[in-house]
Structure 1
């Protein structure tokens, strides 16, 4: 059984960071979601040897999966994953501002093409379907993005594909 727990602090030094995912925001205040079939998700994935840090992983994965460029990612927190009671690792969550949107292209890793949505950030927790833990992460990301990037919080454009 897999157990998950959300922390707003940095992961302990002895806990390996295996994955990095990002809550991305457009300058108009909407949040970005990657859509695979009927599942909404965040761009991100596994760290690779050439990735200097979690920010490098997020930049690479965002480009590979959804052909977006992002500004400097800000650390948000991590999710502790305990798999079977013996395997423990961190999934880092970051927040970043979308700086450039390129045409849709297949994921460089698996060849899949994802839909790209910009949505009201208050809907992200529900759309991810991660329950209360996911809603807390999405709310923390929205709060951090508003402060870090001076994003608007009222009169957002309607949801739409990019």
Structure 2
């Protein structure tokens, strides 16, 4: 910052307060809120002044804190009172971003994205729309956001959603793109539709009379995180085969029953990872909660998660804190 002075004869980097004020960039400020339903879909609203869907939010008024603006906009647009102290992302939107008419003289914007949490059906049912501006709300699959929203808005929403899953603090974005991409960002997780894996959850072994469609494993590292596979081409995530890696103390965890077939799950402790056999997949360590949030498991997901934590405790492993998922080395490793 240059030195300020009221003496017009001072040279060098000295500036008068008026000169310094005139030299600073002018930007708009906005605040939005990212809300999901229990299935991990994102709340978007329809408005009467544009075709694209939007996250709830709007402009920060003069002298208003961004978090206060987020709370005000949620109250005005959805009739929901709340407090949103947790930031998910701060985005710099350039002045030449598409969609702004020249006569608006858009100077660029700093846009804050706050975490509105996961809403229960009861809270969703309490939404009350205003008489004008907001015409409806929907909960959209994350991968559908680019088709529903302006391109920059969709990038920002997906980056904020990944930041929420990561749990590593707010993401710094430039035109919706993280300046320091995490593994979820680099792999483009959530850019394609999650495969629905619904049905009822049943703890324990699969009964002998039921046909088994597939067997996958909750494979635990020593710190309590689990192995997760990500398809590099699509960003789709899934649990590995229950026999894919070096594992000990395997126990039948339970199964999902859907379409008259069982999808069996096993729990085991990892002792090592072999060198990567298929370069099409990245291998990550993630918390069980992160695996659930990146998957579409329906209401039975919380029951499966409870079984996972019971198995982790049975294996004598700690409950892992939420940290950003880490991509594992291709050459493998041992614990």
The TM-score with structure 1 as length reference comes to 0.69
After superposition, give the CA deviation of every residue in 1:62-106 in whole Å (9 maximum; x if it has no partner): 1xxxxx311131111111121xxxxx2211111111111122221
Superposed displacement of residue 15, structure 1 = 1.3
Superposed displacement of residue 3, structure 1 = 6.7
Unaligned runs of 5+ in 1: 45-57, 63-67, 83-87, 107-111
Does structure 1 residue 72 correspond to structure 2 residue 249?
yes
Does structure 1 residue 24 correspond to structure 2 residue 219?
yes
- 1:4 corresponds to: 199
Superposed displacement of residue 157, structure 1 = 6.3
Work out whether residues 25 and 98 of structure 1, in 8 Å CA contact, stay in contact via their aligned partners in 2. yes
- 2:230 corresponds to: 35
Could you say what secondary structure the match of 1:10 adopts?
coil
Superposed displacement of residue 155, structure 1 = 5.0
Unaligned runs of 5+ in 2: 1-196, 329-335
Superposed displacement of residue 113, structure 1 = 2.2
- 2:280 corresponds to: 113
Distance 1:131 1:77 in 2: 16
Distance 2:321 2:309 in 1: 15
Change (3 A) 1:126 1:101: same
After superposition, give the CA deviation of every residue in 1:1-58 in whole Å (9 maximum; x if it has no partner): x9722111433332122311111110111111111132111112xxxxxxxxxxxxx2
Whose strand fraction is larger, Structure 1's or Structure 2's?
A: 1
Q: CA RMSD in A?
A: 2.3
Does structure 1 residue 123 correspond to structure 2 residue 290?
yes
After TM superposition, the structure 1 stretch with the greater mean CA deviation from structure 2, 31-40 or 126-135, is 126-135
Superposed displacement of residue 144, structure 1 = 1.1
Given candidates 255, 260, 269, the residue that maps to 1:97 is 269
Given candidates 142, 151, 161, the residue that maps to 2:317 is 151
* Bigger Rg over Cα: 2
**Between Structure 1 and Structure 2, how many residues are aligned?**
130
- 1:137 corresponds to: 304
The TM-score with structure 2 as length reference comes to 0.36
Could you say what secondary structure the match of 1:122 adopts?
helix
Could you say what secondary structure the match of 1:72 adopts?
strand
With a CA cutoff of 8 Å and minimum separation of 6, indicate the structure with the bigger relative contact order. Answer: 1
